[in-house]
């Protein structure tokens, strides 16, 4: 199959979260199976033009009210033959930040920036004379792909192209005032006709869900949660209407990057048969964070965006978060790597000054995230909601037991500890309260000190879990076939 991924993030070029990991890993794995998969994304300011190959043509894109001229650059995903096309437009992407900055979290011209990417994706195909079977959009920024395909472009060369939208996070929808609609380069009849209108404004994600031939999200449990008023962020009704086209396909992990046996970012490697390297990683972790290098003190780690979604208020919230009691009462060390909301960063600094066994690094640090996964004994993810979550899977693979809220992909990947048998791969709780987090971390600490054989058994089980992309890729291939049937009446069974 010919597949074009349209995305605002892909590792190693641009990343704010798991979306970037998922898009690149899915593409690499589709390629391995012999599919012709390509990626198109913006050339952000930080992506060095000198390392890319220019495509010598100026291409006209129909976003906004005036024609926009863009250029494209080309590269490959590292160690692969997956082409990545970068759309280059100084006015749109020639600045710091992917969606915004600390000072301007959501750029005012994001509707235009998103529209240039999506219109540009179609123009790129025309320029290359390469027409994909599937245009696969990811999250709100690329939702004009299904909108354009269904309402504008599905004729001529795109008559046999279907769209798939993957929702990595329903909480980010791209909602903007009606005055910004002209930035999209769409006819006004699509304001209502394509499902953009939403309470007097327009909503990218809503339109994408309305128009896509198939919709996926990144875990089966989240697929169900999106259809409930609690998890639907106002779009649950629409999700229920489109339920026949919605699937949950669990993300895999990039096992070349996240493998404790070969991970080059660690001071020592290890596997489930020999965990001695993990002890070296723990020592290094304690040293990097300036904690006493005590081997028998449990280390609880966290690597996270500091966003409400991640349950940060219940851990670090001023006056009521549980961190203070965790660190004072439970005989543990706590390390955090994260960045995000300012109130939370401030609170973390204040807590660090009061708690000698709590250390934090505020910022983004790939290498340190590997060390935390490897060197910690436990990994905390008390997410309010979690479409899939990657860190709990990385943790299990690195022999670090996840302590997670039973939601979305966390519920689908972590098996509850059974204190009778020692079965399980981690610790789950339901209520998003500081008390529930405290109790569950306390439960884990009890097991650490009193049930060492259970801890070992769980570590080994987690490390042998199969979180590869292979099964997920098969899930996506089914979705692609269904999209071609829904959108174009094409039965891919006839291809064989």
Query: What does the binding site for ligand ADP look like in residue numbers (CB under 6 A)?
Result: 17-19, 21, 303-305, 337-339, 364-366, 369, 388-391
For ligand GLC, which residue has the nearest CB? Answer: 18
Q: Closest CB to ligand ADP among 354 and 367?
A: 367
Stretch that binds ligand GLC, among 47-55, 156-164, 276-284, 384-392 (CB under 6 A): 384-392
Location of structure tokens 């993810």: 381
The CA–CA distances, whole Å, from 121 to 38, 99, 131, 135, 333 equal 11, 19, 11, 9, 48
Task: Write down the H helix ranges in 306-464.
Answer: 312-316, 323-329, 342-354, 366-375, 391-397, 408-413, 434-450, 452-463
Q: Which residues contact 442 (CB under 8 A, 6 or more apart)?
A: 329, 330
Closest CA to 138 of 172, 113, 107, 111: 172
For ligand ADP, which residue has the nearest CB? Answer: 18
251 near ligand GLC, rule: CB under 6 A: yes
387 near ligand GLC, rule: CB under 6 A: yes
Strand ranges across the sheet with 36-42:
53-61, 68-76, 83-88, 36-42, 2-6, 134-138, 162-167, 214-217, 246-248
Burial 55-91 (b: 16+ CB within 10 A, else e): beeebebbbbeeebebbbbebebeeeebbbbbbbbee
Select from ligand ADP, ligand GLC, none the partner in contact with residue 372, using the beta carbon and a kind-dependent cut-off of 5 to 8 Å. Answer: none
Query: Binder to ligand GLC among 17, 64, 97, 182 (CB under 6 A)?
Result: 17
250 near ligand GLC, rule: CB under 6 A: no
Q: Closest CB to ligand GLC among 218 and 447?
A: 218
Give me the 141-180 binding string for ligand GLC, x by CB under 6 A, dash otherwise.
Answer: ---------------------------xx-----------
CA distance 141 to 146: 12
Location of structure tokens 């966003």: 307
CA distance 31 to 23: 12
Q: How far is the CB of 240 from ligand GLC (least distance, A)?
A: 21
Q: Closest CB to ligand GLC among 185 and 248?
A: 248
What is the DSSP code (8-state) at residue 416?
A: B
Answer yes or no: are the C-beta atoms of 340 and 306 closer than 8 Å.
Answer: yes
Query: Binder to ligand GLC among 6, 22, 63, 300 (CB under 6 A)?
Result: 22
Query: Binder to ligand GLC among 88, 213, 254, 386 (CB under 6 A)?
Result: 386
Answer yes or no: are the C-beta atoms of 330 and 445 closer than 8 Å.
Answer: yes
Stretch that binds ligand GLC, among 18-26, 111-119, 238-246, 273-281 (CB under 6 A): 18-26
Select from ligand GLC, ligand ADP, none the partner in contact with residue 252, using the beta carbon and a kind-dependent cut-off of 5 to 8 Å. Answer: none
Q: How far is the CB of 453 from ligand ADP (least distance, A)?
A: 30
Closest CA to 425 of 462, 398, 460: 462
Q: Contacts by 15-21 with C-beta closer than 8 Å and gap 24+?
A: 16/98, 16/99, 16/305, 17/168, 17/305, 18/168, 18/251, 18/388, 18/389, 18/390, 19/138, 19/139, 19/168, 19/169, 21/251, 21/254, 21/390
Q: Closest CB to ligand GLC among 88 and 386?
A: 386
Q: How far is the CB of 17 from ligand ADP (least distance, A)?
A: 3
Select from ligand GLC, ligand ADP, none the partner in contact with residue 365, using the beta carbon and a kind-dependent cut-off of 5 to 8 Å. Answer: ligand ADP
Answer yes or no: are the C-beta atoms of 329 and 323 closer than 8 Å.
Answer: no
Q: Closest CB to ligand GLC among 315 and 381?
A: 381
DSSP H or E segment with residue 281? helix 276-288
Select from ligand GLC, ligand ADP, none the partner in contact with residue 391, using the beta carbon and a kind-dependent cut-off of 5 to 8 Å. Answer: ligand ADP
Q: Closest CB to ligand ADP among 77 and 149?
A: 77
Q: How far is the CB of 390 from ligand ADP (least distance, A)?
A: 4
Q: How far is the CB of 27 from ligand GLC (least distance, A)?
A: 13
Cβ atoms within 10 Å, residue 192: 10
Select from ligand ADP, ligand GLC, none the partner in contact with residue 218, using the beta carbon and a kind-dependent cut-off of 5 to 8 Å. Answer: ligand GLC
CA distance 391 to 410: 10
Q: Closest CB to ligand GLC among 221 and 251?
A: 251
Q: Closest CB to ligand ADP among 369 and 440?
A: 369
Give me the 177-216 binding string for ligand GLC, x by CB under 6 A, dash otherwise.
Answer: ----------------------------------------
Select from ligand GLC, ligand ADP, none the partner in contact with residue 369, using the beta carbon and a kind-dependent cut-off of 5 to 8 Å. Answer: ligand ADP
CA distance 375 to 280: 8
Per the document, the length of the chain is 496
Select from ligand ADP, ligand GLC, none the partner in contact with residue 261, using the beta carbon and a kind-dependent cut-off of 5 to 8 Å. Answer: none
19 near ligand GLC, rule: CB under 6 A: yes
Q: How far is the CB of 19 from ligand ADP (least distance, A)?
A: 6
- Residues contributing to the site for ligand GLC (CB under 6 A): 17-19, 22, 168-169, 218, 251, 386-390, 409
């Amino acid at each position: 199959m010919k597949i074009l991924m349209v995305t605002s993030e892909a590792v190693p070029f641009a990343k704010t979260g798991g979306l970037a990991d998922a898009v690149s890993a899915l593409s690499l794995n589709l390629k391995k199976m012999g599919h012709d998969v390509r990626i198109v994304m913006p050339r952000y300011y930080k992506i060095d033009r000198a390392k890319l190959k220019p495509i010598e043509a100026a291409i006209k894109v129909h976003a906004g009210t005036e024609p926009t001229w863009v250029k494209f650059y080309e590269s490959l995903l590292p160690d692969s033959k997956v082409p990545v096309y970068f759309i280059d437009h100084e006015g749109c992407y020639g600045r710091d930040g992917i969606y915004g900055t600390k000072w301007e979290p959501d750029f005012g011209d994001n509707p235009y920036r998103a529209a240039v990417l999506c219109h540009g994706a179609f123009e790129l195909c025309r320029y290359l004379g390469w027409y994909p079977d599937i245009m696969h959009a990811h999250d709100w920024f690329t939702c004009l792909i299904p909108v354009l395909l269904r309402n504008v472009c599905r004729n001529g060369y795109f008559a046999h192209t279907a769209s798939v939208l993957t929702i990595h996070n329903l909480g980010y929808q791209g909602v903007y005032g009606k005055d910004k609609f002209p930035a999209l380069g769409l006819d006004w009849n699509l304001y209502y006709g394509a499902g953009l209108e939403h309470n007097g404004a327009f909503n990218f994600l809503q339109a994408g869900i309305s128009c896509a031939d198939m919709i996926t999200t990144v875990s089966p449990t989240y697929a169900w949660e999106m259809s409930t008023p609690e998890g639907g962020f106002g779009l649950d009704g629409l999700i229920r209407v489109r339920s026949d086209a919605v699937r949950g396909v669990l993300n895999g992990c990039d096992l070349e990057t996240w493998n404790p046996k070969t991970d080059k970012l660690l001071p020592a490697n290890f596997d489930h048969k020999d965990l001695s390297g993990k002890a070296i990683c723990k020592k290094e972790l304690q040293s990097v964070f300036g904690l006493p290098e005590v081997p028998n003190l449990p280390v609880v780690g966290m690597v996270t965006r500091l966003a409400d979604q991640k349950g940060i208020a219940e851990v670090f919230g001023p006056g009521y978060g549980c961190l203070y009691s965790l660190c004072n009462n439970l005989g543990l060390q706590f390390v955090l790597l994260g960045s995000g909301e300012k109130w939370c960063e401030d609170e973390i600094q204040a807590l660090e000054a009061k708690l000698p066994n709590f250390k934090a690094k505020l910022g983004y640090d790939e290498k340190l995230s590997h060390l935390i996964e490897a060197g910690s004994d436990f990994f905390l993810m008390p997410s309010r909601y979690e479409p899939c979550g990657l860190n709990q899977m990385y943790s299990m693979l690195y022999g670090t037991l996840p302590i997670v809220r039973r939601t979305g992909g966390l519920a689908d990947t972590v098996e509850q500890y059974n204190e009778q048998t020692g079965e399980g791969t981690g610790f789950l709780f339901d209520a998003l309260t500081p008390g529930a987090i405290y109790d569950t971390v306390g439960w884990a600490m009890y097991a650490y000190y009193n049930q060492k054989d259970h801890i070992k058994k769980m570590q080994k089980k987690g490390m042998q879990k199969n979180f590869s992309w292979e099964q997920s890729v098969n899930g996506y291939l089914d979705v692609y076939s269904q999209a071609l049937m829904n959108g174009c009446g094409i039965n891919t069974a006839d291809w064989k």
